[in-house]
Amino acid sequence: MLLVILWLIQDFLTILHGGGMQIPGLFILGIVYKLLFDEDIDGSLWAIWSAFAGGILWDLRWLGIPGFFTLGNVVVVLIVIQIWGAIPPQGRTRGTAFLVFVLMEVSQLLPPLLPTMILGGSTGLNFFILRQTYSLPAILVTMYLYLKRVK
């Protein structure tokens, strides 16, 4: 339910700004956050399907061409599953905060990378830079929530 609410908030903020401001990927950030606390990280098929469904809906809603954000979202989930799954549960402490930050940054870096590569030029570069700038506060808030939950 949280992921649906995050997707709707992300969509509402995009509508509110009329597409002029690049909204951070709150939906994929929520999936990454939930994966960090998943007991069975290897059996996280729900995350792959959630990223796929949310990406398809986002692509159809805003781009009209399915596949750009969908592929980025699924790749992010697979990266998180591989990297976070390699760390034993006993090692997932506050000491891995930098790795968690990197995983969250990757979640904001990869999905908009494909449209940037397709659009190219200054339009794609401006899209990408604005998206990264506006994503940093969302990443920092999520990091705060992560560090608060991990003791």
Total number of residues shown for the chain: 151
Closest CA to 31 of 14, 48, 43: 48
Question: Which amino acid does the sequence have at 47?
Answer: A
pLDDT in tens, 140-151: 999 999 999 987
Those residues whose C-beta lies under 8 Å from the C-beta of residue 32, and which sit 6 or more positions away, are 76, 77, 80, 103, 104, 107, 142
Which domain, by its residues, includes 74? 2-18+25-149
* Cα 8 to Cα 71: distance, rounded to the nearest angstrom: 20
Q: How many domains does the chain have?
A: 1
Averaged pLDDT, 82-99: 89
Return the pLDDT at 62: 81
Is the pLDDT at 91 greater than 80? The verdict is yes
Is the pLDDT at 139 greater than 90? The verdict is yes
- The pLDDT-based confidence of 104 (bands split at 50, 70, 90) is very high
Task: State the Cα angle at 103 between 93 and 16, rounded to 5°.
Answer: 120
Return the pLDDT at 22: 72
Which residue bears the tokens 């506060």?
137
Q: Which two tokens stand for residue 111?
A: 């999905």
Is the pLDDT at 19 greater than 70? The verdict is no
Mean pLDDT of the chain: 87
- The pLDDT-based confidence of 26 (bands split at 50, 70, 90) is very high
